[in-house]
Amino acid sequence: MAFRFKSTLAAGVVAFLSAFAPATQAETFKVTFSAAHGPQLPWVGMIENFYMPEVDKRLKAAGGKHSIAWNKAFSGTLAKVGGELDAVANGVAEMGYVYTIFEPAKLPLLAVCFMAPFGSDDPRVLNKIMYEMNQEMPELASQWTRHNQIFLAAVSTDTDYLLTNFPVNSIADLKGRKLGAAGSLSLWANGIGAVPVQGDFATHFNNIKTGVYDGLIAFTTGMYPPKLHTVAPFATRVDLGSMMIGALTVNKAFHDRLPPEVQKVLKDVGREYTDRIASTLLGLAATFEQKMTEEGTKFTKLSPEERLKWATTMPNIAKNWADTNAKRGLPAPVVLNAYMKKLRDNNVPLAREWDKN
């Protein structure tokens, strides 16, 4: 009898306390996802075709307590190229695809792979490295939180080519030639006597067609969809390396208001997106190169000797970058050393030891 009384009393206490506990309400969160380009580019297409539906699927599998109502602000409808970082920072968009390649001033430490080219030509390896660095290093995490956002996923390209309207057999053929070289790529062109001209995938076609430049440094999955090979039919593989060009991010203030289970889903799917987009780009690159060949593109490969000459002829842009940013109080040397260590740990052959010479 006493036991039954105690059980009843305990149940009553629990019920009393529960009445005053804050209720966790099921909620639908409105998310505007901004991207400067449309889903014809693979990394934006995968946001629409994988990231969003996979988040929905996992939230539903978790009991459907919370959901997201997506607004797809793609193709520059909300932010143009170079404006995505500010759109997410200001909360105009809750999430976005940010082109880190166009933010060397605001996200200087995210340019580390561009400052140390001729590394891995496999986007799966580079995405793994850049995802790990963004998750493990407070030096990189602070780059994002400074702009009121949190890193969710990395996008690294298939290896960079020269795509030109003239044949390239040696780096001497590039001297004085104008090359479209977005952001930090201009340093690669400068280092061998080419003339870099800023451009992006929205302007490359007309710029080559009208003679603004003679070709560009780009990767297959970026250059095939806009048909750049039809105005620049010579593709020279150099293995300049896979590069992290962008990231999926979420506004930090919005993220911090989300229930922990929703935060976890956004992060977990971001990790899977990082893996999937790398494999997708690698597969698409092979498909697109076959199509380009069928459509008249002439593929060649720069000799190992000429590739090495390019790597060693350039000034040590990595050291210059690290030293310049260190003087500004930024831990660029730490980031460079960590990046080079990751390359070595992943058995990537190095054409140049950027952290040493």
Q: Is the pLDDT of residue 22 over 70?
A: no
Average pLDDT, stretch 274-294? 96
Q: Is the pLDDT of residue 6 over 50?
A: no
24: confidence class by pLDDT, cuts 50, 70, 90: low
State whether residue 33 is helix, strand or coil: strand
Tens digit of each residue's pLDDT (9 = 90 or more) over 142-178:
999 999 999 999 999 999 899 999 999 999 999 999 9
Two domains, one topology: 29-157+243-285 and 160-242+293-314: yes
40: confidence class by pLDDT, cuts 50, 70, 90: confident
**What angle is formed at CA 356 by the lines to CA 351 and CA 357, rounded to 5 degrees?**
70
Supply φ then ψ for residue 249, to 5 degrees. Answer: -135, 165
Q: Is the pLDDT of residue 20 over 70?
A: no
312, containing H or E segment: helix 304-313
Number of H helices, E strands in the chain: 15, 11
Helix axes 260-294, 123-136, angle to 10 degrees: 160
- Burial label for 4, CB within 10 Å (0-12, 13-18, 19+), is exposed
4: confidence class by pLDDT, cuts 50, 70, 90: very low
pLDDT at 190: 79
Q: Is the pLDDT of residue 17 over 60?
A: no
Architecture of domain 29-157+243-285: 3-Layer(aba) Sandwich (3.40)
pLDDT at 8: 43
Alpha carbon distance 225, 244 (integer Å): 19
Q: Where are the beta strands (DSSP E) in the chain?
A: 27-34, 66-73, 95-98, 149-156, 160-164, 178-180, 195-197, 215-219, 234-237, 244-251, 298-301
Alpha carbon distance 203, 201 (integer Å): 5
Q: Which amino acid is at 89?
A: A
Cβ of 13: how many Cβ atoms within 10 Å? Answer: 10
Q: Which amino acid is at 90?
A: N
Structural domain spans, the chain: 29-157+243-285, 160-242+293-314
Alpha carbon distance 143, 237 (integer Å): 33
79: confidence class by pLDDT, cuts 50, 70, 90: very high
Secondary structure letter of residue 229 according to DSSP: G
Average pLDDT, stretch 60-87? 95
pLDDT at 11: 45
Question: Which bin fits 160, alpha (ψ -120 to 50), beta or left (φ > 0)?
Answer: beta
Average pLDDT, stretch 27-42? 94
Average pLDDT, stretch 128-132? 98
Enumerate the β-bridge partners of residue 346.
none
Does domain 160-242+293-314 fall under CATH 3.90.420.10? My reply is no
Are 249 and 98 a contacting pair, CB within 8 Å? yes
pLDDT at 3: 41
5: confidence class by pLDDT, cuts 50, 70, 90: very low
Cβ of 114: how many Cβ atoms within 10 Å? Answer: 25
Tens digit of each residue's pLDDT (9 = 90 or more) over 238-269:
999 999 999 999 999 999 999 999 999 999 99
Best CA proximity match to 304, nearest among 340, 349, 248: 349
